[in-house]
Structure 1
Amino acid sequence: MPAGVRIPRFVRWRRHPVLAGSAALLLAAGLVLGGIRAYGVLFPPELACGKGMTAAGRGPALACVGVNLESTPFTKDEPARMRELEKTIRAANDAVRGESAAVVLMLNLSPVVDVDTLTHESLYHNIEGAVTAVWRANNTAAYGSRPGIKLYLANMGSRYGSWRQAVDSVGKHAASERIAAVVGLGQSTEETRRAAAAISKELHIPVIGSTVTGNSMNLDPDDPAKPIPDMFRVAPTNTHAVIAANQYAGTLSQAVTSLAVIADGVAGDDYTATLAAEAKTRFQAPGRTVTTLPYTSPRELAADSGRRNYLIDQFNLMHANLCQAAPSAVYFAGRGRDLGAFVQTWVQGAPCGIDKLRIIAGDDASQAIRDEAVLDGIKSGRVEVAYTALASPQQWGEDCPGTDAKRNFDQFRSAFTGSPDPCTKQAPGTGRSGAAPLRFDPAHLASGQAMLTHDATAAAISAVRRAGEGVRNPGQLTGILHQFYCAQMLPGASGWLSFGDDGNPVGKPLPIVQINADGTTNTVSLTWPSSAPNLSLPQRGGTGAPGC
């Protein structure tokens, strides 16, 4: 080769095929990574999810589902109040030092208007109740001292459609986050029942339902003859709700000689199905006729497609038959979010000789406390509405010192609101940690949901702190939870917590709550559908408490 003539660079590369191949791979990788980054800039993901969660659903139902380990948003346009609560949870979790265990509050945390029969407002109450239980655990002597407790929210998505992803996320992070129990669940549906069964069967982690009342919710969905072994709940079942409603009906000044059961026949909703089934039989009484008037709420309905209008059309058709039955009272065995459509149709329908319709409903009517159609109906004088609440801040009365059950509630209320105990005047914290008190709105207690979710979370925490090695093996907590009865009953805001062999609560009261025209409520009576009043721990050798 003549002097001064240089070999072209590409020819030199050909003399070294290994180097050439490596360079080509690096170039290709760079192009791929660069392309991915460029695509991400040009076409960003529709919803970015924090650690522990993945995006699921479409359109208005698009949300991050799974366990929210970093307290990031569940949806793109999440309400400000939800963001505030997530920040509160993150700050509390970051403050936990040393050994810790976690409780997961699993709900539908991304409800869609006109699709879901719950609202963000009711979710706030549930979350606040759980936050209060964890605050008491970490900052007072209410449940012992160790380990420290963290709280994580887990989203099952609209209509609980992503329950499988939520359960898988719990399983994926159970060991690293030391998840000891799952609480909440939300509504009594086929999806939440399957979620509970999967957590028990696959993860062997106890589940404590807070407001699930459907009679079948603790039964294996694939083999209903068998119970879900690790499932507990702090709310009475629909059987007890109807017994309580019947007790209340018997106290009304005008005798209930005829009653109409407005029964939702939608598939997959254990709440409405078992509530209607119980009502059809338990309201039967000598001298009383019971008529069933069925309707079917939509199971699948696109967002903003008019759920209320869909139901108004059915209730309009029902109106003549309701007039024909001429009931002394109506038992509404449907979802509380649908009660407004029924009331509106009755009030605006043709008069038929019934001056005022007395409506009794199940606990889900707490969703209707601020429903304008319900409030307008009450204002008109054409209806009055009462329901069997799962808990009420008024159920223990105002007298000081009151019963032991009232003192338990007063301590909870003090921690929830940051106000001194109304009877002892004691501040909510002991000063053990120096943490700032909570300042939740006492009006958020009206639905009772904060009380129930507090109690479910408190039961999980109590089991964790009694279990020792159970923090590393959550399955051991099931045995601990089964020991909470008789002298080992747990103090709860909604009443003493005592679990039967099937995991259902024993000896729980059900308050009867009336909705007022201004959206406030009054507790008109306190019923004990399954036991004598259970107000105190039993004296030594006593037999008054459940399980003694």
Structure 2
Amino acid sequence: MARVWTWLREDVWEIRFRRYVALALAAVLVSLGVWGGMTATKENRSCAPGVVRPRGSQECVGVSWTTYAFGRPQFADTVRAIHRENARLKPGSYVTVALLEPFTATDADNLGDVLHELQGAYLAQYQANHDSTGLKPKIRLVLANPGATGAHWRQTVDQLEGMTKGRNRLRAVTGVGLSTENNKKAVKALTARGIPVVGSSITADDLANGQNGKDPFPGLARVSPTNTDEARALASFAKVSATRAFLVYDRTGDPYTRTIQRSFEKMLKGSRYGAQPFTPPTDRSKEGSTANVFAQITNILCDTPKSTDTVLFAGRHTQLRQFINALGARGCSDRRFTLLTGDEGSYLTGDKDLDPSALRDTLLSVRYTALAHPDAWAKDAARTGGGAADAKVLTDLLALGKRDKEVGPIGSVDLSDGQLIIAYDAMRLAVRGIRGASPTGGIPALADVGLQWPQVKGKQLRVNGASGWICLDAHGNPYDKAVPIVELTPDARARFLRMAWPEGRPPAKECLPPS
């Protein structure tokens, strides 16, 4: 009996000892933050299939192929339309094209731009899949978001590269949008991995091939002219005199602002006055303190002789709007000025922060080079370089979307900023490259798609875009592309003035770039 009692005491002691050790170990683990990691459910950072919140960020980035609209209600109708079209495709009959845009942008102007590019890409997808010729392969469209500022471009590019294999068969990326440093890195990485890219509204000269005879982005094609070509078209329209002009530019610069600044500087050789810089926030969609700087610059402008009547502006749209508002309040309101800038002016259409009195009550005109405009071809049906019949193909598609539930709805449509038009043309160029790489209608090799761009020219092979003819040179850049000159009205609308051309005249009917 004594021996049994001894065993019982030893068992009780051992149980108590083990509990003590377990409690002590738990206390140590909790203090080290390990216990919670061992017992808690792993955090779910998924937003939707293919889309996640990266560690340290609340943005949902990645590639979406569902009805997920990145938390932006204005995208929902078009995203659903794309999903319906994708669902109609038979397995093995299609290739995938990704639209790369900042779908989680917070700036209202950028969101409007993204919406219009989304709509344009979808309409071109629908047209390609329902064309009466029955050409193949069919086109599946997915949405690639690198983040509001493109900061997560590497993760998105890695995902897109993975989609080039297997059943996705990714064969091109289109869109890209703004000419920013992050987008430049994304395009560099995509093309380095053999993925063809068709830029819609990128215009920076250093985001193009052919500069100094080099091609840093093999497989890149564009449908918009470079900033240099835009400036040449603007100069042919405005007849800018260096002795009468004044330059205001972004001191820190990004690919867009730097190259448009250089283009303007070439126009101003011999100018009597030094250019005036300003320093915007790193995120140029933010207000910052530049409004105060612009108020001072207008004072300097008023000190110039009355013969100075032209202001060239090399900056983004938020700073452009601030400068226009400052010019509206300038002390020399009795002097007439014409402000000339690049396609960033298109973002000001509908901008609620633009002071209407700046354009209504003063002698100020704001004119800019647009990428496209719905009125551009209304009176140019027989002209080379583009025409009313080509533009009508898109407007007919829009009309079809309003009455046919198989096509639309696609949300509120606005063609005035040109973004829907140019995105539609970019997607059509992507389709041309894909189908040109596989004349039998089969699935083309990824490496063959980007090789098609130098052959997009001439009467038969050019793309008759809604924005004008797209005839590419050997480096994938559009030759002598039509450039609409647009004037900003006091109610923030874009009024078409005239078509201008980098070469000073439209291309010949053959549309063959010279050597």
TM > 0.5 fold call: yes
Contact 1:67 1:166 in 2 (8 A): yes
Contact 2:333 2:362 in 1 (8 A): no
Question: Is 1:270 aligned to 2:255, yes or no?
Answer: yes
Q: TM-score scaled to structure 1, two decimals? A: 0.79
For 2:215 and 2:372, locate their aligned partners in 1 and report how far apart those are by CA, in whole Å.
29
Alignment of 1:116-127 (within 5 A): 118-127=109-118
State the SS of the aligned residue for 2:125: helix
Query: What is aligned with 2:191?
Result: 200
Question: Is 1:546 aligned to 2:507, yes or no?
Answer: no
Contact 1:193 1:218 in 2 (8 A): no
Q: What is the identity, as a one-letter code, of the residue corresponding to 1:450?
A: L
- Relative to structure 1, the CA distance from residue 73 to residue 436 in structure 2 (aligned partners, 3 Å threshold; closer, same or farther) is closer
For 1:417 and 1:374, locate their aligned partners in 2 and report how far apart those are by CA, in whole Å.
34
C-alpha deviation, 1:480, in angstroms:
1.7
C-alpha deviation, 1:108, in angstroms:
1.3
2:105 to 111, 131, 134: 111
1:51 to 49, 52, 65: 49
- Relative to structure 1, the CA distance from residue 353 to residue 119 in structure 2 (aligned partners, 3 Å threshold; closer, same or farther) is closer
For 1:401 and 1:279, locate their aligned partners in 2 and report how far apart those are by CA, in whole Å.
32
For 2:38 and 2:405, locate their aligned partners in 1 and report how far apart those are by CA, in whole Å.
43
State the SS of the aligned residue for 1:319: helix
Contact 1:246 1:283 in 2 (8 A): no
For 1:504 and 1:313, locate their aligned partners in 2 and report how far apart those are by CA, in whole Å.
39
Query: What is aligned with 1:136?
Result: 127
Contact 1:482 1:500 in 2 (8 A): yes
For 2:315 and 2:150, locate their aligned partners in 1 and report how far apart those are by CA, in whole Å.
18
For 2:81 and 2:368, locate their aligned partners in 1 and report how far apart those are by CA, in whole Å.
33
For 2:89 and 2:163, locate their aligned partners in 1 and report how far apart those are by CA, in whole Å.
18
Query: What is aligned with 1:169?
Result: 159
Which moved further from structure 2: 191-200 or 395-404?
Answer: 395-404
Which moved further from structure 2: 310-319 or 387-396?
Answer: 310-319
Question: Is 1:258 aligned to 2:244, yes or no?
Answer: yes
For 1:84 and 1:358, locate their aligned partners in 2 and report how far apart those are by CA, in whole Å.
40
Q: What is the identity, as a one-letter code, of the residue corresponding to 2:490?
A: A
State the SS of the aligned residue for 1:321: helix
- Relative to structure 1, the CA distance from residue 382 to residue 101 in structure 2 (aligned partners, 3 Å threshold; closer, same or farther) is same
Alignment of 1:354-365 (within 5 A): 354-365=334-345
Q: TM-score scaled to structure 2, two decimals? A: 0.83
- Relative to structure 1, the CA distance from residue 300 to residue 408 in structure 2 (aligned partners, 3 Å threshold; closer, same or farther) is closer
Q: What is the identity, as a one-letter code, of the residue corresponding to 2:360?
A: K
Q: What is the identity, as a one-letter code, of the residue corresponding to 1:478?
A: G
For 1:140 and 1:157, locate their aligned partners in 2 and report how far apart those are by CA, in whole Å.
34
- Relative to structure 1, the CA distance from residue 164 to residue 516 in structure 2 (aligned partners, 3 Å threshold; closer, same or farther) is same
- Relative to structure 1, the CA distance from residue 258 to residue 470 in structure 2 (aligned partners, 3 Å threshold; closer, same or farther) is farther
C-alpha deviation, 1:300, in angstroms:
4.9
For 2:455 and 2:224, locate their aligned partners in 1 and report how far apart those are by CA, in whole Å.
18
Q: What is the identity, as a one-letter code, of the residue corresponding to 2:318?
A: R
State percent identity of aligned pairs: 25
2:75 to 58, 82, 91: 82
For 1:293 and 1:382, locate their aligned partners in 2 and report how far apart those are by CA, in whole Å.
21
State the SS of the aligned residue for 1:524: strand
C-alpha deviation, 1:439, in angstroms:
5.1
1:479 to 447, 451, 455: 451
User: What's the CA shift string for 1:81-100, capped at 9, x where partnerless?
Assistant: 11222222111111112410
Q: What is the identity, as a one-letter code, of the residue corresponding to 2:346?
A: S
For 2:180 and 2:442, locate their aligned partners in 1 and report how far apart those are by CA, in whole Å.
30
C-alpha deviation, 1:157, in angstroms:
0.5
For 1:461 and 1:49, locate their aligned partners in 2 and report how far apart those are by CA, in whole Å.
30
User: What's the CA shift string for 1:449-497, capped at 9, x where partnerless?
Assistant: 1111111110111121222288352110122222111232111111111
For 1:233 and 1:271, locate their aligned partners in 2 and report how far apart those are by CA, in whole Å.
15
State the SS of the aligned residue for 2:249: strand
C-alpha deviation, 1:400, in angstroms:
6.2
Q: What is the identity, as a one-letter code, of the residue corresponding to 1:390?
A: L
Question: Is 1:216 aligned to 2:209, yes or no?
Answer: no
Alignment of 1:404-419 (within 5 A): 405-418=387-400
C-alpha deviation, 1:340, in angstroms:
1.5
- Relative to structure 1, the CA distance from residue 320 to residue 435 in structure 2 (aligned partners, 3 Å threshold; closer, same or farther) is closer
Contact 1:55 1:64 in 2 (8 A): yes
For 2:38 and 2:432, locate their aligned partners in 1 and report how far apart those are by CA, in whole Å.
48
Question: Is 1:66 aligned to 2:45, yes or no?
Answer: no
Question: Is 1:94 aligned to 2:90, yes or no?
Answer: no
Q: What is the identity, as a one-letter code, of the residue corresponding to 1:495?
A: G
C-alpha deviation, 1:289, in angstroms:
4.2
Which moved further from structure 2: 436-445 or 175-184?
Answer: 436-445
For 1:398 and 1:37, locate their aligned partners in 2 and report how far apart those are by CA, in whole Å.
71
Contact 1:405 1:535 in 2 (8 A): no
Query: What is aligned with 2:433?
Result: 463
For 2:214 and 2:471, locate their aligned partners in 1 and report how far apart those are by CA, in whole Å.
23
For 1:188 and 1:464, locate their aligned partners in 2 and report how far apart those are by CA, in whole Å.
25
Contact 2:78 2:409 in 1 (8 A): no
Contact 1:329 1:357 in 2 (8 A): yes
For 1:220 and 1:112, locate their aligned partners in 2 and report how far apart those are by CA, in whole Å.
34
User: What's the CA shift string for 1:130-163, capped at 9, x where partnerless?
Assistant: 0110010112237x52111111110010211111
2:228 to 211, 223, 239: 239
Q: What is the identity, as a one-letter code, of the residue corresponding to 2:326?
A: T
- Relative to structure 1, the CA distance from residue 155 to residue 317 in structure 2 (aligned partners, 3 Å threshold; closer, same or farther) is same
Q: What is the identity, as a one-letter code, of the residue corresponding to 2:327?
A: W
For 2:335 and 2:423, locate their aligned partners in 1 and report how far apart those are by CA, in whole Å.
39
Count of matched residue positions in the alignment of Structure 1 and Structure 2: 474
State the SS of the aligned residue for 2:53: strand
Contact 2:454 2:475 in 1 (8 A): no
C-alpha deviation, 1:165, in angstroms:
1.0
Q: What is the identity, as a one-letter code, of the residue corresponding to 1:486?
A: G
Q: What is the identity, as a one-letter code, of the residue corresponding to 1:499?
A: L
- Relative to structure 1, the CA distance from residue 409 to residue 438 in structure 2 (aligned partners, 3 Å threshold; closer, same or farther) is farther
- Note the residue ranges of structure 1 that are not aligned, 5 or more in a row: 1-10, 12-34, 421-427, 429-433, 539-543
Alignment of 1:379-458 (within 5 A): 379-398=360-379, 405-418=387-400, 436-438=406-408, 444-458=414-428
Q: What is the identity, as a one-letter code, of the residue corresponding to 1:122?
A: D
C-alpha deviation, 1:442, in angstroms:
8.5
State the SS of the aligned residue for 1:491: strand
- Relative to structure 1, the CA distance from residue 358 to residue 440 in structure 2 (aligned partners, 3 Å threshold; closer, same or farther) is farther
State the SS of the aligned residue for 2:117: helix
For 2:348 and 2:199, locate their aligned partners in 1 and report how far apart those are by CA, in whole Å.
22
2:144 to 149, 154, 163: 154
Question: Is 1:347 aligned to 2:328, yes or no?
Answer: yes
Q: What is the identity, as a one-letter code, of the residue corresponding to 2:377?
A: W
Which moved further from structure 2: 479-488 or 184-193?
Answer: 479-488
Q: What is the identity, as a one-letter code, of the residue corresponding to 1:546?
A: P
